[in-house]
Structure 1
Amino acid sequence: MISKKNWICTAVVMSAFLIALLAAAVPKQPVAIAGEENGYYGKKAKYVFYFIGDGMAMPQINSTEIFKGTLNSSDPMYKEKLNFTVFPYQGMQTTHSTSSFITDSAAAGTALATGHKTANDVVGVDPTNTIKFKTMAEMAKEKGLKVGIVSSVSIDHATPAVFYAHEPSRNNFYEIALAMGNSGFDYFAGGGLLSPTGKKKDLPNALDIAKQKGYKVVNSQEEIMRLAKNDGKVIAIQPDLAAEEAMQYEIDRTNQLSLADFTRKGIELLDNPNGFFMMVEGGKIDWACHANDAATTVRDVMAFDNAIAEALKFYAKHPTETLIVVTGDHETGGMSIGFSGTKYETFASKINKQTMSFEEFDKKIKAYRATVGETNANLQDWLPILASEFGLVDLTAYDKQRLSDALAQSMLDSKKRAKDEQTYLLYGGYEPFSMTVTHILNQKAGIGWTTYAHTGVAVPVFAQGVGGEKFQGYYDNTDVAKKIMGIMGVKFQ
């Protein structure tokens, strides 16, 4: 028989053993260290690249990989990876705003820049316009990092604006332009300004005000390429801008600077011992998707990927100090790899025969309309152009009927065109003939679209470098911002 004393000793020993087992089974929480922010306990990134493909989700990415495969291989099943799709860490983010499951760029951008949700149309503030959300770019500047904002669309557009402006409407372009000059950021580049002198064009030029605040404003290729670190704060605007003060679509670009050129120049100007933060937006991916123009879309994704290649060159020199994050703000167009008319087949090489964007083709339509008037258009006039500029030589009777109907609509003044639901479903408010040409080409390539607006699907996130492992999993778009903030060593507010 065990004595009472021995029983007590045995119980004490067993209790201690069980406690030790339980302690070993419970995962240990990291011990907070002074200065650690937002749940990140690893090494901080000194250099942070944030690439946002506006309107870019998996359909745009996969389509581009398939398209690149057709350019570089005779194997119809070859798909060529992009620079960022081979990043070691990948996740998915949800994109809804506070007002809709289908976000716009202002709300999505605010989430990606500040870690806070807001309503569609709102830039950098809460839906009631009472709380200004501090952006990671502003935090980086306060920390002593240099900051750059680059976009292929106007620099006062929603996505670039959310990193430095706080407005109840994304359409407050003049106020956003003033905020750019007040930001103190070191490098703005790409597109121009939509409303530099206000809606009535009667206010002081925002670029002149920026000059008074110490910015050097340049808008020639020679001046941009000559920029050096001793030039201080810079606003570099692409010369010969396209519509809406944006850079050219990549498919239309000739000798103008590319998004990669502006990214490379930004790295040169921002590089310093304290580090830097740079956001680069491929903004015209979104615009091409709104217009359901697949060839223009994939070319702009490729241009975006070329800009990422510039960051990777820098990363190769600073692999233990650099973070690169690539994502989109939402998907646009409901793009799909697959069309009912081609069933299980795709023919991506067909869109390589398109030589210009829908925007450039619109100019040809406008010139033709001015020549023949409303009633004298003839599809036969266009067949050689459709063959040479779009590769459309296998047109069916149904294709030609669609094209003839659309051409007739395009010959009308926009005010005279039908405004019913059927017309919108066919053309989405774009030039009817141009839209029908690209739709037919896309469909023959096996590419489909569901909308001329955004969709609510989740968007991928790709990361490489310091803290990149944090971007694995499935999370909200606000978490992308919080993760970057933590890895950059600034506190989410």
Structure 2
Amino acid sequence: MFRIIKSVQIVLIAVSLLLTSAVTAQTSKQSEYKGAAPKYIFFFIGDGMGLSQANTAEAYLGALNKTNGIQKLNLSSLPKQGFYTTYASDRFITGSAAAGTALSTGGKTTVNTIGMDAKRQKPLKTIAELAKEKGYKVGIVSSVSIDHATPAAFYAHQPTRNMYYNISLDLSKSGFNYFAGGGFKNPEGDGKHIEKNSMANFGMGESKELEDKEPNSMKIAEKRGYRFVNTVKDFKKLKKGDDKIISIAPNLSGGSALPYFIDQNGKTDISLAEFTKKGIEILDNKDGFFMMVEGGKIDWACHANDAATVIQEVLQFDNAVAEALKFYNKHPEETLILVAGDHETGGMALGFSGSHYSSDFAVLQHQKLSYEAFSDLIKEYKKTKEGNYKVEDGLALVKKHFGLGDTEKKLALSEFELKQLKAAFEKSMNYKKEMKKDDQFYLLYGSYDPLTITACHILSQKAGIGWTSFSHTAAPIPIRSIGVGSDLFVGFYDNTDVPKNLMKLIE
């Protein structure tokens, strides 16, 4: 027995020494880096994108090609891989503001704080601000509003993410060269109330009329030399050398964000990839550029546990990464590409207890619109029917837009699933705000329309996907990289180390 215990101790000591030496080697590699600074830096952040979100998209593509495996995304082709922890200074499960600040400044802060220390007293310099000081042109691109938590963390310094008006003033104060994607949430002020409805951060909830309007922050941006572009025609006219551009999507959905990729129209909408491609064209110059691109609605779709929409948002994000890779292939000795995430959302798992070991990711192709668009249909139905609701109508809408109940699509409904949908329809038609206070209601539907979320859950389960939360999780996040200095981003470390290493490279 003594010999066995002794042998186990020796093995544990050996493993400990190996891990210690690996960490030491990584730390040494970071501190001793003497290579050139990258001339072109792409920093992609998939908001809410953990390992599962990307892998689910790959499994979906594999299923469409009738393989029992995956089809790799562009981002998975990046050769250097790492993971990092995400906790905030005041909470183990972080929020987008604290995580964005960690990734932009290298400093831990409190949940909801933008670009400031944990006490919300001291502004922290961001990697984008440092890049500008060093002569790089700077671009910030996002599929959500450009004053949302993650993009804001690269140019703003405010005590709370909900101070959208102050954040939008910081935007034009930054002097960055290119902003693109969503619009401004509150360009005429936040009013005497800071929005307490957290769902407003996910593009949901009614906007409020302001009694006391502030000077319009978009007008202030124009006075500071910025030009707004918000049509497809004018967007296409933008060219290399254009400066101080704020390009806003022509069609904005809830929360002043781009429509979900699954809902976009290729002729009248501008995708995240197109905004990225145009950013490369505008920013490219002899002194180089830094561009942060956020796939912000991956997070929103994960909050709603909408697997099909999550996949499409990951694919839109990956299309943007593809544009950076095209540029990299022309400038491999001068370019660094990082693909990261701020946190995981939803506790998305490639496996559901009810499906045992079965997966059928291809069924997700039968969902034709996002949870947001379907919720809008339910609202319209409720409004037009004026109390004359029929459960058969709800089931017909679910069948039309999710495929659920269509036996030809292998989406027959069990008796239990039908019962779930019927109960959810009744709750949707008789919804009252006080229902949100009920624990059972929240565990079933979160803060979303009951019929919508139930349809999303049943389709996810038929695909073999499980969800544990309507919120963020603390899972470590993968980071992938290629190019100049990419060796610094290999290993397992903290999210604050990412910008610290970027700053070393730029310095």
Same fold (TM over 0.5): yes
**One-letter identity of the residue aligned with 1:98:** S
- Alpha-carbon contact 2:100-2:153 (below 8 Å) kept: yes
Please name the residue that 2:83 is paired with: 92
Q: CA deviation at 1:484?
A: 1.6
Please name the residue that 2:232 is paired with: 221
Alignment of 1:318-329 (within 5 A): 318-329=331-342
- Alpha-carbon contact 1:38-1:485 (below 8 Å) kept: no
Please name the residue that 2:205 is paired with: none
Larger gyration radius, structure 1 or structure 2:
1
127-136 or 147-156, which moves further after superposition? Answer: 127-136
- Look up the SS of the partner of 1:381 in the other structure: helix
Please name the residue that 2:22 is paired with: none
Q: CA deviation at 1:382?
A: 2.9
Please name the residue that 1:26 is paired with: none
- Alpha-carbon contact 1:410-1:433 (below 8 Å) kept: yes
- Look up the SS of the partner of 1:211 in the other structure: helix
Residue 142 (structure 1) aligned with residue 133 (structure 2): yes
**One-letter identity of the residue aligned with 1:404:** K
| Corresponding residue to 1:74 among 66, 82, 102 | 66
- Cα distance 1:318–1:230, how it changes in 2: closer, same or farther (>3 A)? closer
- Alpha-carbon contact 2:47-2:343 (below 8 Å) kept: yes
- Cα distance 1:418–1:470, how it changes in 2: closer, same or farther (>3 A)? closer
Alignment of 1:431-450 (within 5 A): 431-450=449-468
- Alpha-carbon contact 2:241-2:283 (below 8 Å) kept: no
Q: CA deviation at 1:418?
A: 5.5
- Alpha-carbon contact 1:217-1:236 (below 8 Å) kept: yes
Please name the residue that 1:51 is paired with: 44
1:87-116 Cα shifts (integer Å, max 9, x gaps): 110000000000111000000010100011
Residue 409 (structure 1) aligned with residue 427 (structure 2): yes
1:119-160 Cα shifts (integer Å, max 9, x gaps): 100001012122211000000001111000000000000000
- Alpha-carbon contact 2:273-2:320 (below 8 Å) kept: yes
**Take 2:180 and 2:344, find their aligned partners in 1: how far apart are those partners?**
24
TM (norm. structure 1) is 0.90
- Look up the SS of the partner of 1:433 in the other structure: helix
Which structure 1 residue ranges, 4+ long, deviate > 3 Å from structure 2?
Answer: 36-39
Q: CA deviation at 1:422?
A: 0.2
- Cα distance 1:58–1:230, how it changes in 2: closer, same or farther (>3 A)? closer
Q: CA deviation at 1:260?
A: 0.3
Q: CA deviation at 1:460?
A: 0.2
RMSD: 1.8
- Look up the SS of the partner of 1:52 in the other structure: strand
- Alpha-carbon contact 1:373-1:411 (below 8 Å) kept: no
Q: Tell me the matched-pair count.
A: 455
Alignment of 1:291-310 (within 5 A): 291-310=304-323
- Alpha-carbon contact 1:216-1:231 (below 8 Å) kept: no
Please name the residue that 1:359 is paired with: 372
- Look up the SS of the partner of 1:279 in the other structure: strand
1:184-211 Cα shifts (integer Å, max 9, x gaps): 0000000001100102341111111011
**Take 2:127 and 2:308, find their aligned partners in 1: how far apart are those partners?**
34
| Corresponding residue to 1:419 among 408, 425, 437 | 437
Please name the residue that 1:108 is paired with: 99
**Take 2:57 and 2:171, find their aligned partners in 1: how far apart are those partners?**
33
Residue 62 (structure 1) aligned with residue 80 (structure 2): no
1:387-429 Cα shifts (integer Å, max 9, x gaps): 2321112111111111111111111243353631000000001
**Take 1:78 and 1:337, find their aligned partners in 2: how far apart are those partners?**
12
Please name the residue that 2:256 is paired with: 245
Please name the residue that 1:20 is paired with: none
**Take 2:150 and 2:257, find their aligned partners in 1: how far apart are those partners?**
13
TM (norm. structure 2) is 0.87
Unaligned runs of 5+ in 2: 1-24, 192-209, 406-411
Residue 382 (structure 1) aligned with residue 394 (structure 2): yes
**Take 2:32 and 2:113, find their aligned partners in 1: how far apart are those partners?**
28
| Corresponding residue to 1:125 among 116, 130, 145 | 116
- Look up the SS of the partner of 1:223 in the other structure: helix
- Alpha-carbon contact 1:293-1:442 (below 8 Å) kept: yes
- Alpha-carbon contact 2:421-2:454 (below 8 Å) kept: yes
1:55-76 Cα shifts (integer Å, max 9, x gaps): 00011011010011122x122x
Please name the residue that 2:214 is paired with: 203
**One-letter identity of the residue aligned with 1:380:** E
- Alpha-carbon contact 2:53-2:348 (below 8 Å) kept: yes
Q: CA deviation at 1:224?
A: 1.1
| Corresponding residue to 2:184 among 193, 218, 223 | 193
Q: CA deviation at 1:231?
A: 3.1
**Take 1:443 and 1:74, find their aligned partners in 2: how far apart are those partners?**
19
Residue 180 (structure 1) aligned with residue 184 (structure 2): no
**One-letter identity of the residue aligned with 1:52:** I
**Take 1:164 and 1:106, find their aligned partners in 2: how far apart are those partners?**
12
Please name the residue that 1:15 is paired with: none
- Look up the SS of the partner of 2:219 in the other structure: helix
**Take 2:458 and 2:437, find their aligned partners in 1: how far apart are those partners?**
22
**One-letter identity of the residue aligned with 1:131:** K
**One-letter identity of the residue aligned with 1:47:** Y
Residue 171 (structure 1) aligned with residue 162 (structure 2): yes
256-265 or 418-427, which moves further after superposition? Answer: 418-427
Identity of aligned residues (%): 51
**Take 1:383 and 1:287, find their aligned partners in 2: how far apart are those partners?**
25
